[in-house]
Amino acid sequence: MPAPSFIGYTFQVRRDDFSEQVSCGQDPKFWFRLVEVSKDEDAITDFFLGGFDPILGGDLLTICYKKIGREPAAHLVFRDILASRPADPVATDTEQRRLEEYAKAMLAWHGRILGTSCIVRRRDKLDLMIDTKAVT
């Protein structure tokens, strides 16, 4: 079960033709949006923690996947990981490590581990690509 600090929080799910979104009634700045690219690839196009402590990012990612009733795909893509341009290599590395830690925590709840991870340039944006593996 995710951290007990989430007791009393309500997470709402919305779906449209292209994505599934999770928001939090108590924190309007919290936002998660997932687009299923294929059966084997999930694109997380938005993941903003709002006022939540960053240490809870993995728990929040876990809650989002549970709320939408999905197992994480074998390949995860965090799209457009930095809000500002041009990307500072130190900021890029910091954001990559932060999102990897969130993904590791979420994957552990689903019996998976982080395999490989890399930053890929998509047009003028940076995406974090993560391959996952089942725990053996």
d(CA 51, CA 31): 11
**Which CATH number does the domain 4-134 belong to among 3.30.450, 3.30.530, 1.10.20, 3.40.630?**
3.40.630
Q: How does pLDDT run along the chain (136 residues), one tens digit per residue?
A: 445 478 889 999 999 999 999 999 999 999 999 998 999 999 999 999 999 999 999 999 999 999 999 999 999 999 999 865 666 889 899 999 999 999 999 999 999 999 999 999 888 889 999 999 998 7
Radius of gyration of the chain (CA): 14
Whole-model pTM: value is 0.90
- Burial class of residue 85 in the structure, from the number of CB atoms within 10 Å of its CB (0-12 exposed, 13-18 middle, 19+ buried): exposed
d(CA 100, CA 43): 14
